[in-house]
Amino acid sequence: MSSRTTQRFVSLAIIVTLTISIWSGYLYSQAYRLSQESSMKLDEAKKSLEGATQLIREASSKLDEAKQIASEGKAKIDEANRILSETENLLKDIRRQGIIYINAVSVDGSPQTMYFAGEPLIAVRVRMSIASPSNIPIYYESKVVNPIESKINFSGATYSFNEYVKVTDAQPSRGAPSWSAQPTSLGTEVTELYLWIGLRSLPFQRKQIFLSDPKTNMTVGVELKMELLQAHTNLVLNQAKVYIMFEFKCGEASARLIDWGPRIIG
């Protein structure tokens, strides 16, 4: 090989070597740059993920707080509704307070001979049905018959009620009458009441009328003015008129309800 050829070969080798070195350096620098960029992007992605995670945590915390507030709000609304309902019911009870109904009046059984202070009485038991729309008991006086406005009629004339008739206060049992009991208070929780009406024998005898005599045939009409008076106030809560007819035939006595009519006060 000539010296010229050798020189050209050496020059070419140097060029190839330099080229390879340059490309190797370039490729290494590119690889390093890409590696650095990837690392930076990975760090950025990691930071973004951490930021998103933090936002999610904050949002979850806010959501839990909102749920707690909503739960407390619902509890307060439920409590307010309960108080409102109780208040409405109380107002209804206040409006109903003082309302009493006399639902029914009837003669309960046949007349019987009884005695008061030794005086014979032809007495019959009367049943009353009482009701009230109020949930709170209403109290009223046991004295339910107003003797001043009550009447007794026989032989075509009207006579003094107190002179010819003895009447008990209302009582919650069907037991024996208490002709001289002291007035007391009754409540609407008791719905059935009983009172006794007795025709006094002595005033009739003074008119030569003997109620237990088999020869006596007559009718006696008793008109009762019933009043339910609020306890301790004498406020009339309800009133009714009751008409009862006693019949005497051949020594036998009977009694029946002819008519009655309630009237609500208010």
How do the domains of the chain map onto residue ranges?
1-69, 101-264
Q: Is the pTM of this model over 0.75?
A: no
Instruction: Look at the alpha carbons of 255, 256, 258, 260 in this order and tell me if their dihedral is positive or negative.
Output: positive
Instruction: Look at the alpha carbons of 145, 151, 152, 153 in this order and tell me if their dihedral is positive or negative.
Output: negative
Query: According to the model, what pLDDT value does residue 49 have?
Result: 63
Q: How far apart are CA 248 and CA 215, in angstroms?
A: 9
Q: How far apart are CA 176 and CA 263, in angstroms?
A: 29
Question: For residue 4, what is the DSSP state?
Answer: H
- CA-wise closest residue to 219 among 151, 153, 158, 149: 153
Q: How far apart are CA 194 and CA 146, in angstroms?
A: 16
Query: According to the model, what pLDDT value does residue 56 have?
Result: 72
The stretch 178-206 carries a mean pLDDT of 92
CB contact set of 60 (below 8 Å; sequence gap of 6+): none
pLDDT, one tens digit per residue, over 118-154 is: 999 999 999 999 999 888 888 999 999 999 999 999 9
pLDDT, one tens digit per residue, over 37-73 is: 667 666 665 776 677 677 678 767 877 887 788 788 7
The stretch 31-35 carries a mean pLDDT of 64
